[in-house]
Structure 1
Amino acid sequence: MSEREITPEIIRSAICSMVEVERTNQGLEVYLPQIYHSGHNVAVVVRAEAEGYLVHDNSYAAMILANLGIPTGKRLADVVQPEVEAYGCRLDGMRVMRRCHADDDLGVAMTLVGCASRLIADRALKNSLAPIHDFKASLLGKVVDTVGAKRVRTNEQVSGHLGGHYRVSAVVLDRTESKPIAFVEPIADREAVARRFKEFYDIKHNPAYASVERVAVHDDGGIPSGDALLLEEVGHLIRFSQAASHFSMWTRH
């Protein structure tokens, strides 16, 4: 059997497909082709200033640690400060940041902030008390096991009513494999709640997906009732232990 041909264009396309840019009230939020151990894409925020740009991680890494019960105060900041500075960045509280002046320097600045942010999040891997597991991979495995691999598309891009583009973790197709019947997203921690709410709200109001079910699955550890009510407004929220039962309904469609 001949080897599959690989080209620079294939590699470039694979990397670029992971990059998303969204406008927020803080600036442009950029999802990089880097992954935290939690399964989330590393994201940085770029804000224009009078003399250039400020790039920061919006304290995402610190939020990941906090959600795992790891203290993120001054003691941790003092420990990671030299490591962050090794990437040419600095800490503001637990927010990783770097400034640059020229447009040509933005790519390097975003990459360095992303690396330093992931370095902080990886402190969880050194903490024996942190329950680290790939919740997203476990969820995708359960979707595939229930409806079959041919009916599941991962990391599929869909558009929202407001023009935003989203990479849905799992798109479940109907039995003819011709149209989507469900969008499935993991809620691995509280950090994901606001992002999934925005995604589902935008998709919900796109007429093209009016009949597509939106399902958010959270770990059996539970999430605060306020967060649960928020997600219930834009889709179905279920526990991971209930997922197989819920997904089995799709085998009939």
Structure 2
Amino acid sequence: MLNDFRSLIWLRTRYLLSAKAILFVCVLTPILDFYLLSLWDGARETVYFLNMALSMVYSMTGGTFVSMIVSEEKEKKNLKTLRLSGVTDKDYLLSVVFFPIFFASVTALFFPFPFGTNIPNWGTYLAVVLTTVFTFVFLNLSIALLCKTQQQTVAFSMFFVMLASILPAFVPAHQIVKQIAYHSFIGANTDYMATLGDYSLTSSSFLAQVSWLFLCLGLSIWAYRRAIIVGN
């Protein structure tokens, strides 16, 4: 199994080196855009802009990245080919989420430094970042596996990009909207950015985030097996 996983990672590395447009749009663009924004004095030490940057990283570097890769593989009928060659469900799912999770996590951990944001507890921040990254990756993986075309995948993926950007902005508007946002698929990050040092991993928003993670993981496993049965 380990050899199969290494082979798949090698193939994905070669694919990404040849698909520079995906790397530029999903990985480099959020980094460059928000790093340039952090050079503006008005954005430094401002949690609002860090929150914006993290929302884009979760949705683009984590989510759209994996959906674009998988939707292309589906259109090329590669899923069944990999399955017939002996690749297990576990190997495939781990290999396809490896780079989106890696790039999104590293970028999210990097952004507090250029924005000059003081993170009171890095352990709590790491837990929030990782659970949110995993949630977005598995959510978008499910979308790509369930959609029939790349156009449908991009449309649904962009919808969640917009939703992830809009929800945190409406938190101060109304108590009901606030509770919806705090218990959504980006709720832990939204709540954490509002409270920072006072945030606890026993809060309802973090427990809801973990629930979203397992829900999206289960959905992605089911969607992958369904895609294999129906022939991609």
Shared fold, TM over 0.5: no
Could you say which structure has the higher helix fraction?
2
Q: Which has the higher strand share?
A: 1
Q: Which has the higher contact order (CA 8 A, sep 6+)?
A: 2
Report the TM-score when normalising by structure 2. 0.30
In terms of Rg, which structure is larger? 1
- What TM-score results when the alignment is normalised by the length of structure 1? 0.29
